[in-house]
């Protein structure tokens, strides 16, 4: 029973650390771009897009498809990098253990 109590305490400590990490990740951001930096997307550690910037030169009413493609590329890259950032931080917290549902 002593070991069970110790495991429960460790699990509670890990949960508290994870909650703190999630809060920290909400304030960390990743910037990604497409089209040579003409379109930029910023995502936070919660995989939320917090901003998008588009240079005037890339806005062409005759080629809306290209602009849409650049936005999608920048957003997908930002979200991917954000997920990787969270995964790396979570891995540090769990000591490299792969805990399903956490990364």
pLDDT by residue (tens digit) across 68-90?
999 999 999 999 999 999 888 88
Give the domain CATH number at 10: 3.30.1310.10
> How many domains does the chain fold into?
1
Residue 87, CA atoms < 13 Å, CB-side half-sphere: 10
Residue 21: domain span: 2-94
Which residue is listed with tokens 């080629």? 63
Q: Using one digit for the tens of pLDDT, what is the confidence trace for 6-43?
A: 888 888 888 888 888 888 888 999 999 999 999 999 99
Whether residue 67 is contained in a domain is answered as yes
Whether residue 55 is contained in a domain is answered as yes
Whether residue 79 is contained in a domain is answered as yes
Tell me the CA distances in angstroms from 74 to 9, 40, 62, one per residue in order. 42, 6, 21
């Amino acid at each position: 029973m002593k070991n069970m109590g110790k495991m429960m305490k460790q699990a509670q400590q890990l949960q508290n650390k994870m909650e703190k990490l999630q809060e920290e990740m909400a304030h960390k951001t990743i910037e990604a771009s497409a089209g040579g930096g003409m379109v930029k997307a910023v995502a936070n550690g919660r995989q939320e897009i917090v901003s998008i910037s588009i240079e005037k030169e890339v806005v062409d009413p005759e080629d809306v498809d290209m602009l849409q493609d650049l936005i999608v590329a920048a957003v997908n890259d930002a979200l991917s990098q954000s997920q990787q950032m969270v995964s790396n931080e979570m891995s540090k917290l769990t000591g490299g253990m792969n805990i399903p549902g956490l990364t």
